[in-house]
Structure 1
């Protein structure tokens, strides 16, 4: 499989690249600086240098090459409104349109559980972040692409457990980025998973079995 990752230098994107390479996949990505490209090349990952906020749809489509699937894991993590709008909102729309231009049907988006952090006083910037993420989910889900939206719970660093809880609706808890990346790699390798929103939390089911359990009968 040939996978292009937008957000390949991020916590999930970088781990996903490692997971996919271990499976023998070809991995490409978009980075903002030459030193990031050079570092990825030492790991066997080819990267294109460009700023998602300023690239045109045509330019972004050209960076995709002959990818089989686009993974969008970039995110502002609840930063300023301007960054959130550009990355979590406009960036997703641009990537969707670029995928169409490039003739790439599969598109996976790493989103967020809507219930995340609701026990906190989040402030206006974070609430805006959740609003933009939901809008991006809606736009992708209404597209004609073979899309997948993965909504993980609160993200943690550290080693993964290899066990998760995955389904159309999950409780909000915590999950390591390593387990998110491993789950996403497994999902990308299951062609019968498509046009689905899946929520992800820590759990007790091995990742491969959790993914298999979400294969819908209409794909069989």
Structure 2
């Protein structure tokens, strides 16, 4: 049985992921900053842990990651937040998670990033979008520089459509959308396939079953 901690557990991807973790017989640990969200995670079959990664120190986060096999970073400040919180959550939260994982002896980390964040930004890019892209870009760069067994998944536009289990994966796949259900399933498939370690790839809906798409990507 694999014990998987999810940072950003009450987000829409996080909740779907915890539900899929439970359904396949593994243990999910949802790390949340709002006590009121705990019951939602318990209903999904997860253990809820209260910890605000934005305001807690690395040692506190490491203490809740001990005994975990994999940590998934799927947190974000959200579209209504300002540029400063994009930095403190999307970037600093990821950096702190990677550091805490190392302290806790957790070797495997999956990061949910965003498509196209390595592309240059136009001079007139809106401030909030610039902050988001730069935070995701820098968080990915930091994770790549760690000694963790990392995988970075960069999904296209996220939808609430029912998952199909069919995707297109690649270093660059072009613009597209993908259901959050399929992002969650893709995270678990990446955990199951060690060949995804050290890989960064984009993901949108497609015609290929997830396991087959990963196999074609990493073989």
Q: TM-score normalized by structure 1? A: 0.91
| Structure-1 separation of matches of 2:187 and 2:106 | 18
SS at match of 2:194: coil
Encode CA deviations 1:62-84: one digit per residue, 9 max, x unaligned: 11131111100001234311210
Encode CA deviations 1:143-167: one digit per residue, 9 max, x unaligned: 1110000000111112112110012
Structure-2 residue corresponding to 1:158 = 161
Structure-2 residue corresponding to 1:88 = 90
| Structure-1 separation of matches of 2:210 and 2:44 | 25
| Structure-2 separation of matches of 1:134 and 1:32 | 24
- Structure 1 pair 103/200, CA: closer, same or farther in 2 (3 Å)? same
Structure-1 residue corresponding to 2:114 = 112
Question: Gaps (5+ residues) in structure 1?
Answer: none
Structure-1 residue corresponding to 2:13 = 12
SS at match of 2:67: coil
Aligned residues: 214
Q: Check the 8 A contact 2:30/2:47 in 1, yes or no.
A: yes
- Structure 1 pair 43/173, CA: closer, same or farther in 2 (3 Å)? closer
Structure-2 residue corresponding to 1:212 = 215
SS at match of 1:170: coil
- Structure 1 pair 91/201, CA: closer, same or farther in 2 (3 Å)? same
| Structure-1 separation of matches of 2:82 and 2:194 | 36
| Structure-1 separation of matches of 2:155 and 2:99 | 24
Matched, 1:48 2:54: no
Structure-1 residue corresponding to 2:152 = 149
Residue 168 (structure 1) shift: 2.0
Q: TM-score normalized by structure 2? A: 0.92
